[in-house]
Amino acid sequence: MSLIEAINESLDLISATKSDKYYTENCYYFSILLNKYDKETAIDSITKSDLNKLFVEESEKLNKNGKDNYKVNAMIRVYKALYNHAINGHDLNIKNPLIGIKSLPIQKKLKYIPSDKDIKNVQLTCNHQQNLLIDFVKETGARISEALRFKGSDLFDDYIVLYTSKSKDSNVVPRKVRRPLCLKDIRLKHDEILFIQWVEKPKFLSRKVSLLEQRPWNWHNLRHRYASKLSKEGKPLFEIMLLLGHSQIKTTQGYLQLIT
């Protein structure tokens, strides 16, 4: 089986089951592999040693640019899945060369938590709907995709319901969050979308942060801020996990840090 055949089959599956972002990311990592090997190269001719050499080369490039190994570790995961799909889908009598290749070390860094002052200064430059979106994410810890999906049927007297989907066409998972103060006087029809003017992640926040010459922060930083504030208030870790919509405590622990 050729490399390009395996890649195309894998991309067909990803296109049908995963998000557009995940598909695009996989295309990028596959392009690195295709730049290294001819597309007609047989996948069973690429050895573990070959792949290890590729990962080391990519890691050295990243380190020279002051970047960590997140990209290389993503490559390892993507290529392992590529081989698994080809082997299982065609009953190939080969061993996955990625088995035994471990992720490269990463220097863990705390996510920056924007100060109240920074958030206020940004909001002074925003219009009403932009401010509402910032407040919504700040007060609910919602992923930006969840905020843009929010509609009238998700709004109740004392709480709201947020829905997230881990992959394309997968079941959405609901969770309850206390009704935020920013929605105190908001009334919506059953099917009315709250943030109808945005269909994809809004870019105004990063632009305003940059114009004000603040330390970079974005929608996800507000989510970390929400989690850390809950921890400061004494909320149990398991409850914070549920409010964030995480499936593992370990993920939630990575969000928490001391804030003043």
Residues 6+ apart with CB under 8 A from 78: 25, 26, 29, 30
How many CB atoms neighbour CB 173 within 10 A? 12
- The verdict on 145 and 231 lying in the same domain is yes
Measure the CA–CA gap between 143 and 32, rounded to whole angstroms.
30
Please check whether residue 101 lies inside any domain of the structure: no
Please check whether residue 99 lies inside any domain of the structure: no
What does DSSP say about strands 159-164 and 173-178: parallel, antiparallel, or unpaired?
antiparallel
Give the pTM. 0.69
Q: Where are the beta strands (DSSP E) in 192-244?
A: none
Mean pLDDT calculated for residue range 186-213: 95
Domain extent at residue 42: 3-90
Q: What is the total count of domains within the chain? A: 2
Model pLDDT, residue 257:
74
- Over residues 121-178, the pLDDT tens digits come to 999 999 999 999 999 999 999 999 999 999 999 999 999 999 987 655 557 889 999 9
Please check whether residue 95 lies inside any domain of the structure: no
Please check whether residue 100 lies inside any domain of the structure: no
Tokens of 50: 């070959």
CA 172-173-175 angle, 5° bins:
140
Give the H or E element holding residue 129.
helix 128-140
